[in-house]
Structure 1
Amino acid sequence: MNTRRRVLFTVLAGSAVLAGCASPQVSDYAQERPSLELDRYFNGRIHAHGIFQKRGGEVVRRFTVVMDCHWQGNQGVLDEAFSYSDGSTQRRVWRLTKHENGRYTGRADDVVGEAQGQASGNAFRWSYTLRLPVDGKEYEVQFDDWMFLVDERVMLNRATMSKFGVTLGEVLLSFSKE
């Protein structure tokens, strides 16, 4: 390897390491208040308003969600009813399990395998693969979902959707608890 290639490789490798270190971790929010406990927040009826943006920022879908949520012990059910701006509807029922140290797992019919989540302070990070129907086909896409409790009633959610490591777009949501 010649000197020029070695320098370029070193710069690129260093940049990749620094970028990896710079990514926020859910533990970065441990001291933030109010503290987010999913089983307390997602209990009862929740309303949400959201948009889906392509990676360039264009809003291509608007939607509302009505969620009926309940917990029994460490087991929770989040029943989501979506209404989209094009008139279509969708339903997703999450079955969540609360574990020790703010960890959660979850399943839904259109989720591949098991979702993994971690809460700390006012933040929650949720990672899962979703089977997404698009134009009569189904694609498996990865979601990196961040939620931040603003106050006892309002939570904001930003989810990045990707495939093969390439960002496809973002979902932005505002939850409001009755």
Structure 2
Amino acid sequence: MDFDIREIRDYYDSDLRDYDYDELVRIGISHDNADFMVSIGVPEEYDDFVFYGKDTIQKTLIEGIKFIKIGHYACHGILNSNGLYLKEGSDGLFTTSSLHDPPIYLLNKNFRTFFLFHLIKNELAMKMRQEDEYNTQKYARELRRLYDQIDPIPMKDVEGYWSHLIEDYETGL
């Protein structure tokens, strides 16, 4: 199954953020992430994720490391939102969780992969349903296989966002 990352825009339910490539690079966002943010686009909101506009993106220091806060994740039922961060000068997309040790951890190797994971999740479910092959355990196995091929580090983090998402499908939650 081939995935064209531009198709992720079909799943956006809100307006795209307006970013300037040079401005993003100037504040420390990597060239690859800045390219994605400008060429593919980032929505204001996506599922439980909120992405900040150019005026609200902020630099911060976490455990002595420079990060750029580009949004947050507000999971249903959790009062405090978890930040979304790009590590200054590198590609990694990070998030925070009080349940994770350390509290900041790698969500995906870059912004493109984060949205690719979402595209795969949506497209795979649709394909399996169209072929009348969908069940949560089979879906979870295939998601895990595809995610492992593309970005294995988040899948090794048993307390991470993607591992928990797949675990929910495996257990039928």
Same-fold status (TM-score > 0.5)? no
Q: 1 or 2, which has the higher helix percentage?
A: 2
TM-score by length of 2: 0.34
Which structure ranks higher in relative contact order (CA pairs < 8 Å, sequence separation ≥ 6)? Answer: 1
TM-score by length of 1: 0.33
